Structure 1
Amino acid sequence: MNKTELLQQVIARLEDDLLQAQQAALTAYEAATHEENIAENKYDTLGLEASYLATGQARRAAAIRQTLASWKQLVLRSFDPQLGIQLGALIELSDEQEHRQCLFLGPDGAAMKLQQDGQAVQVIGPQAPLGQSLLGKQIGDEVTLRLASGMQLLEILSVD
């Protein structure tokens, strides 16, 4: 798998999300300021509700913009055993039933699933419980993840 291509996929997806959020904020703003939505009495709240929506969409766009900036600044490095797993690592894990999964550990705010070479890659951040558990770990280490259904033991098979 190619980490640079994965990074570009994350950035492209975030750019699409940002565009959609900006368009939604603009649409809500236009609805809030449209002359037909001027309140005629105290019970006519359509304009007020649209302004709340516009504010929420603008905040969402700002959060995506910040996440996008973090991902654009991410420097991809090869795995350094002295540092252990760090941001930008591509990690392959196996559970007790030998089900394998690939993770791409990056800055917060971009939890998503990607496809590369026909394989699913889960993007997680360091604030996710699994992301926190993986930071600093080595190949061959095991991490325990607490789930609602109980504990799950995962072994780190490879890191790039």
Structure 2
Amino acid sequence: MPTLNKAQLLHQVIAHLETALSQAQQAAQTAYEAATDEENIAENKYDTLGLEASYLATGQARRAQAIRHTLSTWKQLVLRPFDERLGVQLGALVWLADEDDKRQCLFLGPDGAAIKLQQDGHSVQVIGPLAPLGRALLGKGCGDQVTLQIASGVQLFELLSVD
């Protein structure tokens, strides 16, 4: 399995979340400005543009807060070498093969950043411990089998390597 740099992957996740936070904050500010604009003051009970904009501003602010929390947990993630006694833990880089020997690389981290990254020509899926596959991987080691129940049946994976 190719050796990938977990620190660089972590940096990519953090950069992605910082961009998402900036966009969410800008969207919240724009919605707030629309909600408080003089032109959006209700003239009658059927004029709801200002009310709708305030709901949107509240939703965008909540979204920004959720991203801020996710970013904080990712910034606190400590990358450690794989410990066979503990098995897969947060911060692990895992290579899996399915029944057809299709291989995939997963970076297990805190929840909230389910994204796909690229490094050295390899695709790396970021997953959290609450995702079904993330939960199934916790505590496993090289050579272990992982069974995942999905709508269309059961998927089997073998852990090829863990870093």
Given the two structures, how large is their TM-score scaled by the length of structure 1? 0.99
* Cα distance per residue 1:106-160 (max 9 Å; x no partner): 0010000000011100000000000000000111001111112211000000000
Determine if the alignment matches structure 1 residue 43 to structure 2 residue 42: no
For 1:144, what is the secondary structure of its paired residue?
strand
Match of 2:71 among 68, 72, 75: 68
2:13 to 10, 16, 32: 10
Q: Match for 2:30 among 3, 27, 30?
A: 27
Q: Percent identity?
A: 76
Taking the aligned partners of 1:149 and 1:120, their CA distance within structure 2 comes to 25
Structure-to-structure mapping, 1:3-152, within 5 angstroms: 3-152=6-155
CA distance in 2, matches of 1:156, 1:124: 15
Runs (5+) with no aligned partner, structure 1: none
* Amino acid of the structure 1 residue aligned with 2:52: E
CA root-mean-square deviation: 0.4
In structure 2, C-alpha distance between the alignment counterparts of 1:119 and 1:56, rounded to whole Å: 36
- Whole-angstrom distance in 2 between the partners of 1:146 and 1:16: 34
Gaps spanning 5+ residues in structure 2: where? Answer: none
What is the number of residues matched between the two proteins? 160
Task: Quote how far apart the aligned CAs of 1:49 are.
Answer: 0.2
For 2:39, give the aligned amino acid.
Answer: E
TM-score by length of 2: 0.98
- CA shift for structure 1 position 52: 0.3
Residue-by-residue CA offset, 1:11-48 (whole Å, 9 max, x unaligned): 00000000000000000000000000000000000000
